Structure 1
Amino acid sequence: MDNFELPIIRATVELFSGIGGFRLAAQERNIQTVWANDSCPKACNVYQTSFGNKELKQGDIRELVNEIPPHDLLTAGFPCQPFSSAGKKDGVRDPRGNLFEIIVDILRKQKPSFFILENVKRLLSMEEGNHFAKILSQLASLDYHIEWRVVNAMDFGLPQNRQRVVIIGALQNDVEVDFPLIRLASTENLSELPESSFNRLTDFDSWLKIKAHSQRFPHWGIAKDGRFFGYDFTHFYDRISGVTLRTILESDVDTQFDFTESTLKRLQDSTPVNHFVQGVQILYNQVGGARMGYTVFGIDGVAPTLTSTTSRHYERYKIGNKYRRLTNVEYARIQGFPDNHCAAVSIYDQYALFGNAIPPVMVGWVMDCILENRVAKITMPKFEQLQLFSLPYAL
């Protein structure tokens, strides 16, 4: 908005850096990564090969936290396995889930102007929202305006159904108004709000108490001072036209990826399906379900969410007259990384590293929402066109 100066972000710290999804997005925006950390030796090998040895500190973040230098932006794809639908779902009871406390401590002590966090969509619904309530309560107790939104890799031109929740925080002295600036929802989104929701949005006292919430959190929301407002928008207005798996496939693939002979035998006991589930084309399934049993995928849709689970790396795709798994290079393309980004480690290891990564283009959109001050305008909805209403920054 014209009322506020564009945020200045020169230096970023990348926690739980993995193979550097946040770093690639930062580089494209001329933001310098001054410090990074991960404990996985293979991920660190890839990171150092791609970006050099200077900034990355390999090891337990709990032992290195005092080394973190001043910075403007903190980023963290904090461990998602405790919350993932593919894991044991222990959440904050899992020691990896408790690493979130480190993030809170850093924010409390260092007070960077902004932070961006990323995790699995399931975080919003685990145990009737209990886990996200704990995380949101801690963040909202700091001097930050908090906003979150579920985003999908498909909406950024990547051929993958990968839904993630991104959480951003803006230090309250970043703005001169008490009402949180809305960056992850557009003006068009806010115009979708029904009258009752709009009235709650603009009345902080009517926001729900975070700790009292005992159900799934909405896919978008804002929070501060122990309260939140959320809504499930139907549209993502920044959506880029989607691409299919067909467009990113390698043309000359080594025979090590081919499973044609074994797949043809299994298809004798499989059920033809040939339909799309959330953009994923399913051709055959052993029991006729969406993702149960032995599944063969098509390439006229997108890939299901890439993960670090080993068994998922051997899923079959029908490509021409053959059946094969996706290659490591195709995994890189599906996630939006350079083809050779993980070349420092074995092909086998690349699958898990790409499956754990955050797509750079996805977090790049979040960075742009901050850097370009994409603040939504709260305008009078159609049902209040003739009424006088304003907020400190409404236009």
Structure 2
Amino acid sequence: MSTSVEAKQLDLFQLFQPITPINCTTKFTFVDLFSGIGGFRIPLEELGGICLGYSEIDKEAIKVYKNNFIRDHNADEPYLGDITNLNKLPFEIDVIVGGVPCQPWSIAGKRQGLDDPRGKLWLDVFRVVELNQPKAFIFENVKGLTEPRNKQSLEYILTNLTSFGYVVKYQVLNSYDFGLPQDRDRIFIVGIRNDLANCWGFTFPKPLNKRLKLYDIISGIEKTNFPKKKFPPEVLFNDGKIPASRGRFQKVDELNDFFTFADIRDGHTTIHSWDLTETTYRQKLICQTILKNRRKKIYGEKDGNPLKIEVLETLIDNLQIEEINSLVEKEILRFIEGKGYEFVNSKISSGINSISKIYLPHADAIGTLTATGTRDYVATISIQCDEPEVYKQKFIQEIYAKNKYKPLTAKDYAKLQGFPEDFQIAENETKAKHQFGNAVSVPVIYNLAKALLTLIL
């Protein structure tokens, strides 16, 4: 029987380094573009890199960067300013790196791509690479850049970088595969100058065998491993058909390690507002009926349509308007003039009562950390259960109702991104979270850069 202990604190960056240290006697130089708070710099310096200058325009990020990297021994290191003003630099460069602003391609942004001013920063990247001809480069961006709608933009980027005399490759890497309990997909574009002997030899690093749980790095949560019971699809899914939308960390034969708060989706670990408010069996039936029919095209073209009372009367036997009004009074439903009734909690991103998801301590990974923040929480205790319905009720009674869950702190963000324990974060909690949400995952860069440097040094 496992015991409950507070998660031990780990220096994650040290943990993700090889058991046998690599030879760092061969020094190399690099320039840190879109440097943020230094997610690229930490692993590159550990691998023997010497930063010749950094470029960033966010004043708060620059403060953190300076506090951590610009000290007495390198106080004269140049701040390169805004990349839009950079041209030929007065020194030779081995490697250029940077996390190019991702909002133009992100599902959280407006998806304007190269039409977005931030998307046009790629043109500045092109200029700096072409004029300075580093031996290699690494650029990071969101996975959205690889989606079909952005195919032409990605090809445009790759074609331009190749035309400057580089062998260019790209791949999506997930932070989870490099030891972090965070489901974070990012595209990495790597180029090696084509006059170098090993320019065609680069391959992206393979996933590590290191796997951590949330309780390994987040403090104040229970460390308990319960054996997991297997279930046939017909138990976990109403019709036995496994939804195509299930993610990497949603096993087809196990209960999820997290609970989603949403009225517009369903599932064995989905918590609805009618689960959290005292409602009758009949009221639950009405809500479930609306949930199952709101996305049907016969009721409208939206991905979720208000349903008129006339429609609901055909779906629910002996429905009375008073029954609908009672759900409006409970603030579960609302009436949209001329359209019908819909759920008050109608956005997955908003969740319910400002909660989107609550992850159990033993979960393999939390969702992607973002600069805009998340409504995700971590339970401070774990639960064991055999059947899906009992599992949900136990979660509500033992965790949700008793407030046995906590928000992620900026320190948690730092650990989930693989930053070292002694990294000095911004004093303002919100700003610090924003900065870590924008950062690259340190262990990913360490392993990627290590694979690259063996070819160019």
- Cα distance in 1 for partners of 2:148, 2:259 equals 31
* Aligned residue runs from structure 1 range 1-395, under 5 A: 10-52=28-70, 53-55=75-77, 57=79, 59-67=81-89, 69-125=91-147, 127-175=149-197, 181-185=200-204, 237-251=206-220, 277-279=247-249, 281-287=257-263, 288=266, 293=351, 294-300=356-362, 301-310=364-373, 312=374, 314-320=375-381, 321=399, 322-373=404-455
CA spacing shift, 1:126–1:84, aligned 2, 3 Å:
farther
CA spacing shift, 1:339–1:74, aligned 2, 3 Å:
same
CA spacing shift, 1:65–1:45, aligned 2, 3 Å:
farther
Instruction: Give the conservation status (yes or no) of the 8 Å contact 1:147–1:182.
Output: no
Tell me the CA shift for residue 237 of structure 1. Answer: 3.8
Unaligned runs of 5+ in 2: 1-23, 223-245, 251-256, 271-347, 382-398
Tell me the CA shift for residue 118 of structure 1. Answer: 0.7
Partner of 2:336: none
The one-character-per-residue Cα deviations of 1:228-279 (angstroms, maximum 9, x if unpaired) are xxxxxxxx744232211111011399xxxxxxxxxxxxxxxxxxxxxx8423
Instruction: Give the conservation status (yes or no) of the 8 Å contact 1:328–1:351.
Output: yes
- Cα distance in 1 for partners of 2:150, 2:217 equals 38
Instruction: Give the conservation status (yes or no) of the 8 Å contact 1:15–1:37.
Output: yes
Instruction: Give the conservation status (yes or no) of the 8 Å contact 1:119–1:164.
Output: yes
The one-character-per-residue Cα deviations of 1:154-202 (angstroms, maximum 9, x if unpaired) are 01101101111111111111127xxx624225xxxxxxxxxxxxxxxxx
The one-character-per-residue Cα deviations of 1:44-72 (angstroms, maximum 9, x if unpaired) are 00000000154352742212445563211
- Cα distance in 2 for partners of 1:131, 1:137 equals 10
> Partner letter of residue 369 of structure 1?
A
What secondary structure is seen at the aligned counterpart in 2 of 1:372?
Answer: helix
- Cα distance in 1 for partners of 2:100, 2:90 equals 16
Q: TM-score, normalised by structure 2?
A: 0.59
What secondary structure is seen at the aligned counterpart in 2 of 1:165?
Answer: strand
- Cα distance in 2 for partners of 1:64, 1:172 equals 24
- Cα distance in 1 for partners of 2:206, 2:136 equals 24
- Cα distance in 2 for partners of 1:21, 1:237 equals 20
Instruction: Give the conservation status (yes or no) of the 8 Å contact 2:100–2:122.
Output: yes
> Partner letter of residue 197 of structure 2?
V
- Cα distance in 1 for partners of 2:139, 2:209 equals 22
CA RMSD of aligned residues (A): 2.7
Tell me the CA shift for residue 372 of structure 1. Answer: 2.3
CA spacing shift, 1:56–1:303, aligned 2, 3 Å:
farther
CA spacing shift, 1:56–1:88, aligned 2, 3 Å:
farther
Instruction: Give the conservation status (yes or no) of the 8 Å contact 1:149–1:184.
Output: no
- Deviating more after overlay: 365-374 vs 349-358: 365-374
Is the radius of gyration larger for structure 1 or structure 2? 2
What secondary structure is seen at the aligned counterpart in 2 of 1:87?
Answer: coil
CA spacing shift, 1:68–1:25, aligned 2, 3 Å:
farther
What secondary structure is seen at the aligned counterpart in 1 of 2:102?
Answer: coil
- Deviating more after overlay: 288-297 vs 137-146: 288-297
CA spacing shift, 1:74–1:120, aligned 2, 3 Å:
same
The one-character-per-residue Cα deviations of 1:203-231 (angstroms, maximum 9, x if unpaired) are xxxxxxxxxxxxxxxxxxxxxxxxxxxxx
Tell me the CA shift for residue 35 of structure 1. Answer: 0.6
Give the structure with the larger strand fraction: 1
- Cα distance in 2 for partners of 1:136, 1:308 equals 26
- Cα distance in 2 for partners of 1:68, 1:161 equals 40
What secondary structure is seen at the aligned counterpart in 1 of 2:40?
Answer: helix
> Partner letter of residue 155 of structure 2?
A
Percent of counterpart pairs with the same letter?
A: 29
CA spacing shift, 1:282–1:58, aligned 2, 3 Å:
farther
CA spacing shift, 1:279–1:239, aligned 2, 3 Å:
same
- Cα distance in 1 for partners of 2:425, 2:172 equals 31
- Cα distance in 1 for partners of 2:185, 2:359 equals 19
> Partner letter of residue 123 of structure 1?
L
CA spacing shift, 1:330–1:128, aligned 2, 3 Å:
closer
- Cα distance in 2 for partners of 1:111, 1:298 equals 48
Tell me the CA shift for residue 93 of structure 1. Answer: 0.5
The one-character-per-residue Cα deviations of 1:110-168 (angstroms, maximum 9, x if unpaired) are 11111111111110115251211111111121100111111110011011011111111
Partner of 2:345: none
What secondary structure is seen at the aligned counterpart in 1 of 2:455?
Answer: coil
Unaligned runs of 5+ in 1: 1-5, 186-235, 254-275, 375-395
Instruction: Give the conservation status (yes or no) of the 8 Å contact 2:183–2:367.
Output: yes
Instruction: Give the conservation status (yes or no) of the 8 Å contact 1:124–1:132.
Output: yes
Tell me the CA shift for residue 298 of structure 1. Answer: 2.1
